[in-house]
Amino acid sequence: MNTIEKAKDLQNEIIKIKASGQKVGFVPTMGALHLGHISLVNQAKKDVDIVVVSLFVNPNQFNNPDDLKRYPRTLEKDIEIGRAHVWTPV
Residue numbers annotated as active site: 37
Sequence-distant (≥ 6) Cβ neighbours of residue 88 within 8 angstroms: 1
Q: What is the C-alpha separation between 12 and 63, in angstroms, rounded?
A: 33
| Phi, psi dihedrals of residue 58, rounded to the nearest 5° | -85, 110
87, 53 Cβ separation under 8 angstroms? yes
Q: What is the C-alpha separation between 72 and 42, in angstroms, rounded?
A: 23
